[in-house]
Amino acid sequence: MIFNDFLKSIAQLTDRRFRKVLWLGIGLTLILLAAITALFVGLIGWAVPDGTTLPFIGEVRWVGDLLSFAAVGLMIFLSIFLMVPVASAFTGLFLDEVAAAVEDRHYPHLPPAKPVGFYEAFRESVNFFGVLIAVNIVALIFYFFVGPFAPVLFWVVNGYLLGREYFQMVAARRIGNTAATALRKKHGLKIWAAGILMAMPLSVPLLNLLVPVLGAATFTHQFHRLSLSSGDSAHQSH
C-alpha cells in the first residue's frame, strides 16, 4: 500500500502545481545559500582587511582572498548536505498546494481543506529544518560506529523525521493538530515505513531534490487511506 502511494505521487510529477513547488523550493534554497555565502565572504573581508601582518612573515595582501575562496569552497561543500533540508523547509511553506493537487485528482469528493496560514506554515517549516539539522548532526557521531550500516541508520533516522513532520502537516489541514497527532501515533510504524521509503532517495544526488514534493504527495495519499480505514471524520462525514 505504501508503494502504491509512492507510485501515484511519482505519476503526478508532471502536474503543474508539483513543478511549481519543486522549482520554488530549489530556487529559494539556492538564493538562501548564495546569500549566506556572500555574507560569510563579506564578514571575512571585513575581519581580514588587505595588508594583514603575520608573525615572522610581515605584511601580506593575499590572506583575505585566500580565506574568501576557502569560504566559497566550504559553502559549496556544505550545500551538498544542506540542499535537501533547506529545500524541505521551503517546500513546507507550499505543502498545502501539493496536497491540494493530490486531492483534486484523487479525492475530488472532499470539500476544500482548511487553508494553512503563512505564519503557521513558516513556523512549522523552520521547526522541521531545525530538528532535521540537529538530529542529523547528532547522528553523525553514530555513523562512525555502525560502519557499512551508516546508510541504513541515515534512512531510519530521517525516515522517522520525514514521516512524523510531513504526515502531521498533511493531516492537520484536514482534521486539526490534535486529531492528526492521535492518528499519527495510532499508525506510527506505517508512517515510519513510508518515511524510510522517502529517505532512501536522499542518498542519490539530484533525485533527492524531488523528495520534499514526493513526500508531501505520498503522505497525503497515506493520510487519506489511513483516515478512511480508521473511520475518521475527514472521510466519514462526506
Which tens digits make up the pLDDT trace of 56-96?
454 445 455 556 666 666 666 665 556 666 666 766 677 88
Q: What is the pTM of this model?
A: 0.75
Nearest Cα neighbor of 158 from 170, 171, 143 is: 143
Give yes or no for a contact between 3 and 208, defined as CB atoms under 8 angstroms apart.
no
197: number of Cβ within 10 Å: 20
> What is the mean predicted confidence (pLDDT) over 134-161?
83
Mean of pLDDT values over 3-20: 90
Of 110-114, 123-127, 209-213, 222-226, where does the model show the most confidence? 222-226
Residue 198 has pLDDT above 80, yes or no: yes
pLDDT of residue 58: 45
> Please, are residues 34 and 104 in contact by the beta-carbon 8 Å criterion?
no
Domain that holds residue 19: 2-236
Tally of structural domains, the chain: 1
**pLDDT classification of 238: cutoffs 50, 70, 90:** very low
Q: Out of 12-16, 60-64, 200-204, pick the least confident.
A: 60-64
Share of the chain above pLDDT 70, in %: 72
